[in-house]
């Protein structure tokens, strides 16, 4: 795939997507937005991709929106309010809709959209000294990229409001127990740890099992009762139990050998998937 501001590499099922504007600390632009949306839509369709690792070139993950336009950076006078859609939200929704697990390797600063774009990612690995900031109120704007939905579900309302209302910048090590990060490690270990997790998924799991589990977990957050989750679990378990990947998973375990799963997340999902109603945006 041909990109200007991101890089895309695929190795044995693990795709590495690199934000690639190191001279600007990988600051986010409309071009980067469009390329990220295209990359995740492509990853969703590509059966060769089993997991995606997202990182940044150079010392930063993403320093937030490129503020090169000065005070008019976030002005959209040429677009009617009814037609305007936040660009960060377009990226996070593309990530959220991707059936493949997405892992953030935050090896350096992640501020503004640089951190909100990681919230729909399934796993986050951060460097101990990575600077993190939901700085919107200090720029006279508001949290974007669907972060008002994702952040409190990940870290709780109290922590989310503290970070958003103050707009403070903190180091990942100081909030290692907040729930925002799965792992907080030295900077040199961030990408290897993220790739290790992605490799474990790619090498040892069924693509349809992971895609269904991702749907159950993320969309279960919007369910209003465990009974509803029980119905969705039951449909998925009923379908999965009759597929060849379930047979292979059990036989490989009994025979003490690696499993050879063959079902495709793009072609072999059950006819009731997705079972949730997606809002038109």
Say what the pLDDT of residue 84 is: 72
Counting Cα atoms < 13 Å in the Cβ hemisphere of 40 gives: 24
> Per-residue confidence at 74, pLDDT binned at 50, 70, 90?
low
For the cut 70, the answer to whether the pLDDT of residue 189 exceeds it is yes
pLDDT-based confidence at 280, cuts 50/70/90?
confident
Q: What is the pLDDT of residues 5-63, one digit of tens each?
A: 999 999 999 999 999 999 999 999 999 999 999 999 999 999 999 999 999 999 999 99
pLDDT tens digits, 147-166: 999 999 999 999 999 999 99
Domain ranges of the chain: 6-202, 205-281
pLDDT at 71: 54
The answer, yes or no, to whether the previous bond of 274 is cis (omega within 30 of 0) is yes
CATH superfamily of domain region 6-202: 2-enoyl-CoA Hydratase; Chain A, domain 1 (3.90.226.10)
Q: Are strands 102-106 and 110-111 parallel, antiparallel or unpaired?
A: unpaired
Tell me how far CA of residue 264 lies from CA of 7, 26, 33, 195, 270, in angstroms: 25, 33, 28, 22, 11
In this prediction, residue 44 carries a pLDDT of 97
Give CA–CA dist 27/61, Å, rounded: 9
The reported pTM is 0.95
Rounded to 5 degrees, what are φ and ψ at 171? -90, 145
Averaged pLDDT for residues 92-119: 98
Class of domain 205-281: mainly alpha
């Amino acid at each position: 795939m041909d990109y200007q501001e991101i890089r895309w590499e695929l190795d044995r099922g693990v795709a590495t997507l690199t934000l690639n504007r190191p001279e600007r600390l990988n600051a986010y632009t409309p071009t980067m937005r469009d390329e990220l949306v295209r990359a995740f839509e492509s990853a969703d369709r590509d059966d060769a991709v089993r997991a995606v690792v997202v990182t940044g070139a150079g010392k930063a993950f993403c320093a937030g929106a490129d503020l090169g336009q000065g005070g008019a950076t976030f002005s959209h006078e040429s677009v009617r309010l009814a037609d305007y859609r936040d660009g960060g939200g377009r990226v996070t929704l593309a990530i959220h809709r991707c059936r493949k697990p997405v892992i953030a390797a935050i090896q350096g600063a992640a501020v503004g959209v640089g951190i909100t774009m990681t919230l729909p990612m399934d796993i986050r690995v951060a460097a101990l000294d990575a600077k993190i900031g939901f700085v919107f109120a200090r720029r006279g704007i508001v949290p974007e990229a669907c972060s008002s939905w994702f952040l409190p579900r990940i870290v709780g309302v109290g922590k989310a409001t503290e970070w958003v209302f103050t707009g403070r910048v903190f180091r990942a090590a100081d909030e290692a127990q907040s729930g925002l990060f799965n792992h907080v490690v030295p900077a040199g270990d961030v990408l290897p740890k993220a790739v290790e997790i992605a490799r474990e998924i790619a090498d040892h799991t069924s693509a349809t099992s992971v895609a269904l589990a991702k749907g159950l977990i993320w969309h279960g957050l919007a369910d209003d009762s465990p009974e509803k989750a029980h119905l969705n679990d039951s449909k998925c378990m009923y379908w999965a139990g009759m597929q060849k990947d379930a047979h292979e998973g059990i036989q490989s375990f009994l025979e003490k050998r690696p499993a050879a799963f063959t079902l495709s997340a793009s072609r072999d999902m059950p006819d009731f998937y997705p079972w949730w109603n997606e809002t038109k945006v």
